[in-house]
Amino acid sequence: MRRVVLSKNASNRLGKFLEYLEKEWSLKDKNNFLKKLDKSLTKIQKYPESCIETNSVKGLRMLIVTKQTSLFYKFNSKTIFVITIFDNRMSPTKLEKETQ
């Protein structure tokens, strides 16, 4: 199975998002999100080509974790590289900057 590597940007975004969930919602919501994220990462480890490829960057794929959150990644035969974790309510232009 491929290993998952978070970029510095993805790691920072995930940390901030988890803080937000715990502070503004609840520890239960944070844990539920982590379960969904873990399930999603397991899916792409097994089937990395199962998610759609974006039009903006060749080889960049999008995985919808929740209706509010998507994960963007690239992969090779050994590794899944998580480029960013994106709040779907944010401006798409911000996403373009992060994935270039």
Whole-model pTM above 0.85? yes
Q: What is the pLDDT of residues 12-63, one digit of tens each?
A: 999 999 999 999 999 999 999 999 999 999 999 999 999 999 888 889 999 9
The 3-class secondary structure across the chain, one letter per residue, is CCEEEECHHHHHHHHHHHHHHHHHHCHHHHHHHHHHHHHHHHHHHHCHHHCEECCCCCCCEEEEEECCEEEEEEECCCEEEEEEEEECCCCHHHHHHHHC
Q: Which CATH number describes the domain made up of 3-99?
A: 3.30.2310.20
Residue 87: per-residue pLDDT: 84
